Amino acid sequence: MPANSYLHCSTSLGTDIISFSQVFKRYPGGYEALKDVSFSVEPGEMVFITGHSGAGKTTLLKLIAAIERATSGTVLVAGQNVSSMRRRAIPFLRRNLGLIFQDQKLLYDRSAFDNVMLPLVVTGHPWRDAARRARAALDKVGLLDRERANPIALSGGEQQRLCIARAVVNRPNILIADEPTASLDVEYADAIVEMFRSFNQVGVTVLISTHDDRPIRKLNPRVLTLHRGSLA
């Protein structure tokens, strides 16, 4: 996979793995979600993005995965310019990202196991190896005994952990989570944050958006604060 080797090549050089420079995002209708945002993230960093709802956190994360495109400015992810990337190249970018969405986007027509299998099926992994990795990912989030369950039968915290399992099963270099603790009880939220910290400890770059400052006080990580689309 060319995108993958590209990624390793650039990380070994020690350059930034994510870099925004003078990024603007204007939605049709004139609403400016991001205004002149510039920052960079080094490989292996763990960064929290905070701000009120509507401050542009979700938009910022979407720009990294090319779910949205910047109106102007440059978004570099592992050396690739995402803001001007050809559509055909986007799937290969996303295979190196572990994405956890605010609305989860689990598929309710299949088991938890099959949900976790999906990223490996999409990349054409041999089934046996894929199944082994899917079980390992489920085990890591403590859901191995629920692999046959439909996601609808899982609790909110379990669903969130299932999303994490799906995001890490591909062994991505970058993990991006949009409000992963938003609807969870305090203990569940702490367990989730702890999970991200353990992935970070093995070298994964982690970006988490949140409006909950509990984990930030606890971990004292690097924090980017957005206020009405601008970095404070």
Partner 1 sequence: MRSWLRHHALSFAQTMGRFAASPFASLLNALVIGVALALPLGGYVLLANLQQVARGLVTDAQISVFLAPDASISDITEIDRRLRGTPGVTRVEFVGREQALAGLKRTPGMAEVVATLRDNPLPDAFVVTLAANEPESALRLEQEIKNLPRVAHVQADSAWVRRVSSLLKFARTAVVLMGTLLSFALVAVTFNTIRLQILTQRDEIEVSKLIGATNAYIRRPFFYLGALQGMFGGLAACVIVELAIFVLNRDLAGLATLYGADARLQLLSPADGLAVLAFAAALGWLGTFLSVSKHLYKIEPR
Binding site residues, partner 1, CB under 8 A: 65, 67, 88, 91-95, 99, 101, 105-107, 109, 118-119, 121-127, 166, 170
* Residue 95 one-letter amino acid: R
Rounded Cα–Cα distance for residues 76 and 143 (Å): 35
Judged by beta carbon, residue 65 or residue 195, the one nearer partner 1 is 65
Judged by beta carbon, residue 75 or residue 99, the one nearer partner 1 is 99
Name the nearest CA neighbour of 232 among 12, 49, 6, 95.
49
CB of 83 to partner 1, least distance (A): 16
Judged by beta carbon, residue 113 or residue 215, the one nearer partner 1 is 113
Q: Do residues 205 and 43 touch, judged by C-beta distance below 8 A?
A: yes
Helices (H), the chain: 2-12, 57-64, 90-94, 112-122, 127-140, 156-168, 186-201, 214-219
The counts of H helices and E strands in the chain are 8, 10
CB of 119 to partner 1, least distance (A): 4
CB of 191 to partner 1, least distance (A): 24
CB of 205 to partner 1, least distance (A): 17
* Residue 169 one-letter amino acid: V
CB of 224 to partner 1, least distance (A): 23
CB of 38 to partner 1, least distance (A): 25
Name the nearest CA neighbour of 19 among 72, 59, 70, 76.
76
Residues contacting residue 98 through CB under 8 Å, at least 6 positions apart: 167, 168, 170, 172, 174, 175, 176, 204
Cα separations in angstroms, 196 against 99, 103, 136, 164? 12, 18, 16, 9
